Amino acid sequence: MTVLDTGRVRLHVQRLAPTDGGPPRATVVLVHGLLTDSLASYYFTVAPALAGAGLDVVMYDQRGHGRSGRPPSGYGLDDATDDLDALLAGLDVPGPVHLVGNSYGGTVAFAFARRRPERVASLVVVESEPATAAWAVKLAGLLERVRHEMSVNENAALDWIAAHHGGHTARLAKSAGRLVRDTTIARDIPASPVLDDAQIRTVRCPVLALYGADSDLAEQAPRLRALLPHCTTVLLPGLRHSVLVEAPGRVRDAVREWVGRHDRTPPPREPVTAGSQGCTR
């Protein structure tokens, strides 16, 4: 375990070297989602297998989450992008990296790819989307709902979560409730700068987008293929939003194959035909 002080926040970091002891083929940075999520969602699913495939695996708790610092303010998307930039600099990670983002972590990955395209070899986003005006409205509603439920009726909400999803999830929800109540996250994230279609098109690196076929976000698949010149989308039958937790093997295999395909070959300079939609094998 490492605690990296960026000067703005202390970030809890875990890094797994290739298990064969050899030099890494590439570096993969895993970015988790909001509120109840943390680097643990990767540590106990795909991270060890990626290290076993010869990759340098970096994962960290975003500010306010897990074991990272919880400042009272500074939770906008630009802050999250600043943190990722400072993380790579602080760890002295060389060369372009492959970013894997789950849910809000994928939104952070998109933002970082726009800001620092020279630092990104490819993106793998799981149940995610770029920050748009519609995204901001959706996040505002979600965060306000959490704030209300965990402020007005916390005990009843936690009892329901424990009964339906177990005590561990209830403990995560209690921590998420404190984050929303005690910080400005519920205001900061929806107020983040958003992208129009022209700005999204500036993401030039290869993008693999994985969605549960039964998820509300599955409608992002054709949109991303239309906007991004080097995008492949995959719909996973029978799954909703919790793709990483419910199908870690399929996520692991998709990331390994994608990084293997793009770890040495730069993306073409000119747009090519958008990637196809299908199911992982």
* Cα–Cα distance, 107 to 207 (Å, whole number): 12
Amino acid at 280: T
* Cα–Cα distance, 25 to 51 (Å, whole number): 10
- pTM for the predicted model, two decimal places: 0.89
**Is residue 232 within a helix (H) or strand (E), and if so which, with residue range?**
strand 231-236
Whether the CB-CB separation of 130 and 105 falls below 8 Å is answered with: no
Region 199-218: mean pLDDT is 96
More confident residue, 54 or 155: 54
Q: Which residues, listed in sequence order, are joined to residue 278 by a DSSP beta bridge?
A: 234
More confident residue, 202 or 170: 202
Under the banding of pLDDT at 50, 70 and 90, the label for residue 171 is confident
Whether the CB-CB separation of 76 and 192 falls below 8 Å is answered with: yes
Domain residue spans of the chain: 2-130+194-278, 132-191
Tokens standing for residue 135: 């995204």
Q: Report the alpha-carbon angle 29-35-38, nearest 5.
A: 35
- Average per-residue pLDDT in the chain? 89
Digit-coded pLDDT (tens) for 210-233 = 999 999 999 999 999 999 999 999
pLDDT attached to residue 167: 72
Whether the CB-CB separation of 24 and 98 falls below 8 Å is answered with: no
Region 42-59: mean pLDDT is 96
* Cα–Cα distance, 74 to 96 (Å, whole number): 27
Region 44-52: mean pLDDT is 96
Span 2-130+194-278 CATH architecture:
3-Layer(aba) Sandwich (3.40)
